[in-house]
A and B are shown apart, each in its own frame.
Chain A
Amino acid sequence: MIQSLVISNVVLWIAVIAMGVIIIALLRQIGVLHERIAPAGALMIGHGPKVGEVSPVLQVQDISGRELAIGGVNTEGRSKLIFYLSPTCPVCKTLIPVLRSSKRSESEWLDFILASDGDMTSQRKFVAEHELDEFNYVVSTELGITFQVGRLPYAVLIDEAGVIRSKGLINSREQLESIFEAKEKGLASIQEYIEQHREDVA
């Protein structure tokens, strides 16, 4: 009798643990489904002007009043990186040192534009706190809508001819560098690079 109870107890524990694991797996799948079916606006990756297309042209003003042209042919042969960030996004803050060093190392061919949106006082405080004066810092809803930016930090690379060469979510130094890499290799994304490489081998 006691032995049967012990056995049944062990079997039940194993079953309960298995169910716990299954519940977590299901909840994770639900999370992934949410990412997929989220309504436009919450997640707009893959929308907006596509890589390889000519960028929309617009004129914006940064917070120190300088006029900047987005898109169009650059007469000096320089490319533009629009980096979208916000004072309320923790990952963006961790990328500021990366932006600073990339700005220096890519200064020969690339201009950086930091783009954000929202309340002007908190934006100015953010710029002062993180000493972002060396960047062109643009606060513009229009700039975000033009490229359909849904999640941050996000980057768009426009080449000297005004063509969008690369864009996407940036969460780390490697991802930002992959965008430069993609430009040098003439590919839209590092994924495309890997794909091409695979075909070469095969």
Chain B
Amino acid sequence: MALDPVFTTVVRWALGVVFLTAAVHKLSDFSVFRATLSEYRLLPGALEASGALVIVLLELAAGVGMFVPVLAPFAAWMVMSLLVVYMLAIGINLARGRRDIDCGCSGPAMRQTLSGWLLVRNGVLLAAAALSLLPAASRQLIWLDSLTIVFGAGVFVLLYTSINLLIANGPRLKALFS
């Protein structure tokens, strides 16, 4: 069964906004992002600067691509590869026990330390990107569909931000009880 095009577009737009804002946050304080990346201790020092730039450029490209119907499937694959890389990077550092480093996901203003919840969050994004790759039925879209797309994507972005805030607050709540 083919998906209704409204579902596909909502998912694409929401992912587009999520990746564009992530890229803009990283760019706006690029030196902090570079330092954050080096704390992951995964790239050799010489590659850190170029690695950080490549990540931001890929995020930008994937974010923009999500809004262009012809490019969206490529953008979805890019998003999925980025998410897998992020999950590996977070997973490796969780395994190393380095929980107190900053995620760097949404810029330095949101201080998220590493936790399993970030893996869950990225898993959900990964599933969403995969969903957007499923074949969509074609039908004539009317004005109410546009409304659903804009508001629907908006709500998912708001929910994503809420989840990030919850993840950021988590360790602080724990600290209260220790």
Contacts and interface: CB of A to CB of B under 8 A. Distances in A.
B47 interface: no
A1 interface: no
Interface in A10-28: 10, 13-14, 16-17, 20-21, 23-24, 27-28
B172 interface: yes
Given A38-B172, A91-B35, A94-B31, A13 B151 contact: yes
Contacts of A93: 31, 35, 38
Contacts of A48: none
Dominant secondary structure at the B interface: helix
B170 to A, nearest CB: 10
A27 B162 contact: yes
B165 A16 contact: no
B32 A24 contact: no
A37 B173 CA distance: 10
Given A17-B155, A94-B32, A10 B147 contact: yes
B1 interface: no
Contact of B158 (A6, A14, A17): A17
Given A31-B169, A38-B175, A90 B159 contact: no
Contacts of B154: 17, 20
A142 to B, nearest CB: 22
Interface residues of B, number: 32
A21 B169 contact: no
A91 B108 contact: yes
Interface string A134-161: 0000000000000000000000000000
A34 interface: yes
Contacts of B108: 90-91
Contacts of A35: 172
A91 B32 contact: yes
Given A27-B166, A28-B165, A90 B155 contact: no
A42 interface: yes
A14 B165 CA distance: 22
Interface string B131-170: 0000000000000100110011011001101100110110
A9 interface: yes
A39 interface: yes
Contact of A13 (B35, B36, B38, B147): B147
A102 B142 CA distance: 61
A38 B102 CA distance: 19
Contacts of A14: 151
A61 interface: no
A135 to B, nearest CB: 18
Nearest to B152: A13
Contacts of A57: none
B25 to A, nearest CB: 14
A192 to B, nearest CB: 26
Interface in A26-83: 27-28, 30-31, 34-35, 37-39, 42
Interface of B: 31-32, 35-36, 38-39, 45, 100-102, 104, 108, 144, 147-148, 151-152, 154-155, 158-159, 161-162, 165-166, 168-169, 172-173, 175-176, 178
21 contacts: A9-B144, A13-B147, A14-B151, A17-B158, A23-B158, A27-B162, A27-B165, A30-B165, A31-B165, A31-B168, A31-B169, A31-B172, A34-B173, A34-B176, A88-B39, A90-B32, A90-B36, A90-B108, A93-B38, A94-B31, A94-B35
5 interchain residue pairs of minimum CB distance: A20-B158, A90-B35, A27-B165, A34-B172, A13-B151
